[in-house]
A and B are shown apart, each in its own frame.
Chain A
Amino acid sequence: MNAVGYAAIALQVGAVVVGAPLLTGLMRQTRARLEGRAGAGVVQPWRDTRKLLRKEPISPVGTGPAFRWAPLLLVATALVLAVLVPLVSTDTPVRGRADLIVVVALLALGTLALALAGLDTGTAFGGMGASREMTIAALVEPTILMAVFALSIPAGSTNLPVIVAGAADQPARLTSPAGLLAIAALAVAVLAESGRLPVDNPSTHLELTMVHEAMVLEYAGPDLALVEFGAQLRLAVLLGLLASLFAPWGIATSGSLVAVLLALLLVVLKVAVLGMALAAAEVFWAKLRLFRVPELLAGSFLLALLAVTASYFLGGE
């Protein structure tokens, strides 16, 4: 039983590490195909990583520890998230520690590390990107917290595996107004947190619009590979979390190896479908003006807050 739990964690982390760049590649490929381009192929992010890792490590003059440690911290927090978030099984040895607040704090730590790195370079773009990223993060973190709180009220716990297992048991929880509002709020928050359209354009290097890219402009070589890898891991984990929270069917709730393998297959499928749907939607979206982004995020925060209040007054204890 315990061995299966550890196996589930190992499988989950392995799948996230191998799959995260592939997910990004898949999304780019989907987008390219829809735009009528041939695309670089699904494994292109892995090729990029390999190319970057072979280059000589180099850091700008005058940068301090914040710049050097940020990529490691980003990848480390993303890996811990990959261990904690229940993607494959809700019955793992770490389930007691997979608390909602820990997960959001780890996400925020990664964001903060990168923002500090952007400030540390002392360039105009780094500072601008960091300030924008913090503006967005200040609105996104409470939204994620509130949205998952709304789901945690029927479950009676902020522990993610308990929430997911409860939702897998009683799917009616998800079709209540609170569940639907929370889905919408969390989807917007995930888009903002992982730096996708319409909040940030992941493929732009235009000075006036970039957020994430502005912070990492000074990175090169292996450090850049780590930063990119960290961002891909976060996207994969966040999409996985979304899939587990709102489509928990098939997740392993018992300690049998067959169930775990089946759940792994299902979660890979769910995340791939989610990623392709997101990429397809992005083709039709334009990036929001930066000054309109707080409107969108305030809206999603409001949805999350309504979800919490609705689960109080409509749910009926």
Chain B
Amino acid sequence: MSEGLFTQLLDLACGAFLLAAVVVLWRRELVAIVRLFALQGLALAAIALLLGLHEDRWDLIVVAAGIGALRAGLLPYLIRRALTALVADQEQGETRPYVRSEEVRETQPLVNVAASLLTAAALTLLAYAVARPLVELDPTPATRALPVGLAVVLIGFFVLVTRRRALAQVVGFLLLDNGITATAFLAASGVPLIVELGVSFDVLLAVLVLQLLTVRVREAFGTTYIDDLRELHD
């Protein structure tokens, strides 16, 4: 692959990666958020694949396939299943029909959507400012895109802090992890295979546990609003 084409495709993948994180802040429907997360997983796999092709490293290509399967396939599937479980559970013994739309939407984030979009802009600039000294060490196309990874880490944190639905917070956590993985790829062409495997299983397990926890929370309290969990119940 020629250098110019590689740079162009890598830039496109990084742009899509960042854009998916930003649009997560924009949308309210949890289904749409999960779909965006799957798209972001694809972009991340594309970044790994491009780096692997560029540097002729087969292990990176295998990692890319694994990341694609996990982050664009399995994790969104698990979250979606938790979501349908929540909705189905609601419909069974529920008399108030409007609650259904409450459960599948992030209706009232702590920071409203317009402000969180502007915050995302500020966070991106911050990531750019922070990453500049790092980029100057070795300005290749991959390291130039390093701020993208950092920005997604920061945006993931922001989603984690401001969203109040349990599942939206799970997506925030996964965005954070996507950002960390992307940073590792862009800065150092990925971590050793065994570490990557360990992290992936960790994430998978975390999502499984959180999915279970969400359904239990819903069963115990009738909602997945995190705010309702502040007080101790017996």
List residues of A whose CB falls within 8 A of some B CB: 172, 175-178, 180-181, 294-295, 298-299, 301-303, 305-306, 309-310, 312-316
Contacts and interface: CB of A to CB of B under 8 A. Distances in A.
Given A310-B18, A313-B148, 8 more contacts: A176-B15, A181-B15, A298-B117, A309-B128, A310-B11, A313-B131, A314-B11, A314-B144
A225 B144 CA distance: 53
Interface stretch (B73-81, B118-126, B172-180): B118-126
B123 to A, nearest CB: 11
Contacts of B112: 295
B26 to A, nearest CB: 5
Nearest to A292: B113
Contact of A316 (B113, B124, B144): B144
B120 A302 contact: yes
A152 to B, nearest CB: 18
Interface string B104-119: 0000000011110110
Contact of B141 (A181, A310, A316): A316
A305 B144 contact: no
A302 B121 contact: yes
Contacts of A310: 11, 15, 18
A316 to B, nearest CB: 5
A306 B26 CA distance: 14
A294 B116 CA distance: 12
B39 to A, nearest CB: 15
B159 interface: no
Nearest to A312: B128
B222 interface: no
B135 interface: yes
Nearest to A310: B15
Contacts of A172: 8
Contacts of B135: 313
13 contacts: A175-B12, A177-B11, A177-B12, A177-B15, A298-B114, A298-B117, A299-B117, A305-B124, A313-B145, A314-B11, A314-B15, A314-B145, A315-B11
A280 to B, nearest CB: 23
A309 B124 contact: yes
Contact of A176 (B11, B115, B144, B147): B11
Contact of B118 (A180, A298, A303, A314): A298
A256 B11 CA distance: 38
Nearest to B112: A295
Q: Is the interface of A mostly helix, strand, loop or mixed?
A: helix
Interface string B52-93: 000000000000000000000000000000000000000000
9 nearest A-B pairs in the assembled complex, by CB-CB distance = A177-B15, A298-B114, A314-B11, A298-B117, A305-B121, A295-B113, A302-B117, A295-B114, A294-B114
B19 interface: yes
Contacts of A294: 114
A1 to B, nearest CB: 35
A314 B125 contact: no
Interface residues of B, number: 30
Contacts of B131: 313
Contacts of B15: 176-178, 180-181, 310, 314
A313 B121 contact: no
Nearest to B118: A298
B147 A313 contact: yes
Nearest to B131: A313
Contacts of A315: 11
Contact of A295 (B117, B128, B141): B117
A299 B147 CA distance: 20
Contacts of B117: 295, 298-299, 301-302
Contacts of B16: 177
A316 B139 contact: yes
Given A295-B114, A309-B124, A302 B22 contact: yes
A121 B1 CA distance: 65
B14 interface: yes
Most A C-beta atoms less than 10 A away, residue of B19, B112, B114, B128: B114
Most B C-beta atoms less than 10 A away, residue of A175, A312, A314, A315: A314
Nearest to B113: A295
Contact of A302 (B14, B118, B144): B118
Nearest to A293: B114
A176 B124 CA distance: 18
Given A309-B128, A313-B144, A181 B19 contact: yes
Interface in B123-158: 124-125, 128, 131, 135, 139, 141, 144-145, 147-148
Most B C-beta atoms less than 10 A away, residue of A178, A302, A305: A302
B145 A309 contact: no
A313 B19 contact: no
Given A306-B19, A313-B145, A176 B8 contact: yes
A176 B14 CA distance: 11
Interface string B1-40: 0000001100110111011001000100000000000000
Nearest to A311: B11
